[in-house]
Amino acid sequence: MNVPPSNRLPRMLRIRMPGIVLMLAVIASAAPAQPPRLNFSHLRHLTETISLDGENVDIVHVYANAPDYIWQEAADAGPEGVACVDDAARAAVLYLRHYEITQSRQSLSHATALLRFVLKMQSADGQFFNFVRKDHSINTTGRTSIKSFGWWAARGLWALGTGYRVLQTADPAFAHTLKAAIDKALPHVNALLSRFGVTDTIAGYVVPRWLPYDSGADVTAELVLGLADYYAAAPDTALRSVIEKLAAGMMLMQNGTRSTPPYGVHRSWETRWHMWGNSQTQALATAGRVLGNGTLLASAEREGAGFYIRLLVDGFIKEWDLASADPPQRYEQIAYAIRPMAVGFIRLYEATGNERYLAMAGLAGSWLCGNNIVHLPMYDPATGRCFDGIRDSVTVNRNSGAESTIEALATLAEIERFPRAAAFLAFKRVTSGNDGRTSTVLFADDRGNQVTLAIDLASGESTLK
């Protein structure tokens, strides 16, 4: 890697770890800072304060379409509404993390207002509704909003768990309210675990039946992220057992090794994998660190050092049915697919101290900055917008809704904490090749720095140099 002496120390740091060798420039502490990429302007444009059941709360409007980015109502599955727990919860987690990183009181205030909305959407029995309509009534009948314990409940608990951990010091009284809501939901988690150990086999793949939607390892990962944060703030033997049983189901959905197909991938549901929202590496690395459980961490590393690195070399894909002879689908690609991978690498670094993962996080996140099939930045730091996706090899969806905006900001907030990771956001794919023994890709930035990521196809060992 060529490092101009004007802003980097002229020496190399060589790191050897199982499965990968890194040669990284050591960034000088006096190096000029990159312009900040985080811009919350568009997220705040999507945010509205409303009165819900007599209390002021914040919602995040689901869609905003180009070119004027005026709020749009969701109607993908029939009349849904203008805002949902799915987006408010992920925005709350973003603001809570930004508060932790920067101590921004404004971010803390935004997080609290969003958490109040999440609390209002929890039913008396501990389950969650998802959408509010334009008149600010709760949609209790739509299939993407009906009271249940699935995706929006998992995301709600992620926000509540992170909120409880962060707000214990900043706002103890509100943290106590969050704790009560979490405890009200836990019986539904325990109901899932009543089937612990029950499995099926589908096309040769073992499928656990004690996860949401029977085998939803993807939604389980976001649930575990919330429970792990809750445990970190309030350790409890019973809660530890719950997390480990959910993690056992996720790990049962993992197949392959670093050198054998499908290279440590965590399936999303039954025999299928999809890149969006597949947060198992992030969740298992987080829970492994919090619980001191090496098995969970090893599972996260198996996917990160195996499958994820192959995605960096071979290119991102949308979804893949492992039991089908059909090739993986490559499109549509979205920011919600980038965050689990990039932040998963960050969590692996935090759990292991292995700096190799910082470079991988930056390369994964570089999709947002133009390292993608259309060679265009998907995130605009001037406005804070993130485009809603890449539809095919030439077409960008230039709308900018809540999900894409929040997921992009969450990715960049984590990467920019680490200069070594942030440096790789500027790299783009130049050439790639496969000679039957090694698969390689050359990345370069606009200042002439270059790195080559290579995979030995026999051993699965990877090098970045």
Query: pLDDT confidence of 11, banded at 50, 70, 90?
Result: very low
> Does the structure show a pLDDT above 80 at 123?
yes
> Does the structure show a pLDDT above 60 at 14?
no
What CA–CA distance (Å, rounded) separates 300 from 285? 6
Average of pLDDT values for 418-428? 97
Q: Give me the chain's average pLDDT, please.
A: 92
At residue 188, the pLDDT reads 98
Average of pLDDT values for 221-249? 98
At residue 36, the pLDDT reads 63
**pLDDT tens profile 290-307:** 999 999 999 999 999 999
**pLDDT tens profile 337-354:** 999 999 999 999 999 999
> Does the structure show a pLDDT above 90 at 1?
no
What CA–CA distance (Å, rounded) separates 64 from 67? 9
**pLDDT tens profile 55-68:** 999 999 999 999 99
> Does the structure show a pLDDT above 50 at 4?
no
> Does the structure show a pLDDT above 60 at 34?
no
> Does the structure show a pLDDT above 80 at 201?
yes
**Token reading at 269:** 């549901």
- The helix (run of H) or strand (run of E) holding residue 434 is strand 428-434
What CA–CA distance (Å, rounded) separates 54 from 69? 29
Q: Name the nearest CA neighbour of 256 among 205, 315, 207, 209.
A: 205
pTM of the model: 0.92
Q: Name the nearest CA neighbour of 155 among 198, 118, 100, 190.
A: 118
Higher pLDDT pick, 75 / 354: 354
What CA–CA distance (Å, rounded) separates 23 from 336? 29
Cβ-proximal residues to 437 (8 Å cutoff; 6+ apart), any chain: 456, 457, 458
At residue 75, the pLDDT reads 80
What CA–CA distance (Å, rounded) separates 350 from 344? 10
At residue 109, the pLDDT reads 98
What CA–CA distance (Å, rounded) separates 421 from 361? 6
Burial class (CB in 10 A: 0-12, 13-18, 19+), 102: middle
At residue 77, the pLDDT reads 66
At residue 37, the pLDDT reads 87
Query: pLDDT confidence of 30, banded at 50, 70, 90?
Result: very low
> Does the structure show a pLDDT above 50 at 99?
yes
What CA–CA distance (Å, rounded) separates 401 from 72? 9
> Does the structure show a pLDDT above 70 at 43?
yes
> Does the structure show a pLDDT above 80 at 32?
no
Cβ-proximal residues to 424 (8 Å cutoff; 6+ apart), any chain: 358, 359, 361, 362, 363, 365, 366, 443, 451
